[in-house]
Chains A and B, each alone.
Chain A
Amino acid sequence: MTPFSYSRASDAADALRRATAGAKYLGGGTNLVDLMRETIERPAALVDVTGLSATIEERQGGGLLIGAATRNTAVAEHRAVRERYPVLARAILAGASAQIRNMATMGGNILQRTRCTYFYDDEGSQCNKRVPGEGCDAIEGFNRIHAILGASPACVATHPSDMCVALAALDATVHLRSAGGERVLPFTDLHRLPEGRPDIETVLEPGELIVAIELPPPLATRSTYRKVRDRASYAFALVSVAATLAVEEGRVKDVRLALGGVAHKPWRAFKAEDALRGQPATEQAFRAAAEAELAHAVPLHDNAFKIELTKRTIAAVLGELAGEAA
Chain B
Amino acid sequence: MSIMINGAAMSLPEDPRVSLLDLLREHHHLTGTKKGCNQGACGACTVLVDGERIVSCLALAMQYEGRAVTTIEGLADGNELHPLQQAFIEHDGFQCGYCTPGQICSAVGMAAELKRGAPSNVTGDLSADTIAFSRDELAERMSGNLCRCGAHNGIIDAIGATFAARPEVAA
Q: Is A102 touching B53 in the complex (CB atoms < 8 A)?
A: yes
Which of A26, A46, A99 is the one whose CB lies under 8 Å from B54?
A99
Q: Kindly report which residue of chain A lies nearest to residue B136, judged by CB atoms.
A: A232
Contact indicator per residue, chain B 113-133, by CB within 8 Å of chain A (1) or not (0): 100001111010011000000
Interchain CA distance A102-B141 in the complex, whole Å: 12
The B-contacting residues of A in range 55-113, CB under 8 angstroms, are 73, 76-77, 82-83, 86, 89-90, 93-94, 96-100, 102-103
Which of A3, A6, A76, A89 is the one whose CB lies under 8 Å from B60?
A6
Interchain CA distance A46-B52 in the complex, whole Å: 24
Count of A interface residues, CB-CB < 8 Å? 35
Count of B interface residues, CB-CB < 8 Å? 35
The answer, yes or no, to whether B17 is at the interface (CB within 8 Å) is: yes
The A-contacting residues of B in range 95-128, CB under 8 angstroms, are 106, 109-110, 113, 118-121, 123, 126-127
| Contacts between chains A and B (CB distance < 8 A), count | 97
Residues on A with beta carbons closer than 8 Å to the beta carbon of B154: none
Residues on A with beta carbons closer than 8 Å to the beta carbon of B153: none
The A-contacting residues of B in range 53-90, CB under 8 angstroms, are 53-55, 58-60, 62-63
B149 to chain A, nearest CB (A): 18
The answer, yes or no, to whether B19 is at the interface (CB within 8 Å) is: yes
A98-B113, A100-B40, A100-B55 as given contacts; A4 in contact with B16, CB under 8 Å? yes
B127 to chain A, nearest CB (A): 6
Which of A3, A34, A90 is the one whose CB lies under 8 Å from B40?
A34
The answer, yes or no, to whether A37 is at the interface (CB within 8 Å) is: yes
Contact indicator per residue, chain A 274-310, by CB within 8 Å of chain B (1) or not (0): 0000000000000000000000000000000000000
Q: Is B144 touching A82 in the complex (CB atoms < 8 A)?
A: no
Interchain CA distance A6-B60 in the complex, whole Å: 10
A100 to chain B, nearest CB (A): 6
Interchain CA distance A3-B17 in the complex, whole Å: 7
Residues on A with beta carbons closer than 8 Å to the beta carbon of B141: 98
Q: Is B58 touching A73 in the complex (CB atoms < 8 A)?
A: no
Interchain CA distance A86-B145 in the complex, whole Å: 26
The B-contacting residues of A in range 12-47, CB under 8 angstroms, are 26, 28-30, 33-34, 37, 46
Q: Is B109 touching A98 in the complex (CB atoms < 8 A)?
A: yes
The answer, yes or no, to whether B38 is at the interface (CB within 8 Å) is: yes
Q: Is A33 touching B60 in the complex (CB atoms < 8 A)?
A: yes
Interchain CA distance A73-B114 in the complex, whole Å: 12
Residues on A with beta carbons closer than 8 Å to the beta carbon of B118: 73, 76-77
A103-B59, A233-B140 as given contacts; A94 in contact with B17, CB under 8 Å? no
List of 7 A-B pairs having minimum Cβ-Cβ separation, nearest first: A97-B144, A233-B143, A6-B16, A234-B143, A82-B126, A93-B121, A1-B17
Q: Can you give 28 A-B contacts (C-beta < 8 A)? A: A1-B17, A3-B15, A3-B17, A4-B16, A5-B16, A6-B16, A6-B60, A28-B58, A29-B60, A33-B58, A33-B59, A34-B58, A73-B52, A77-B118, A86-B126, A89-B119, A93-B119, A97-B43, A98-B106, A98-B120, A100-B55, A100-B58, A102-B52, A102-B109, A232-B143, A233-B121, A233-B139, A233-B143
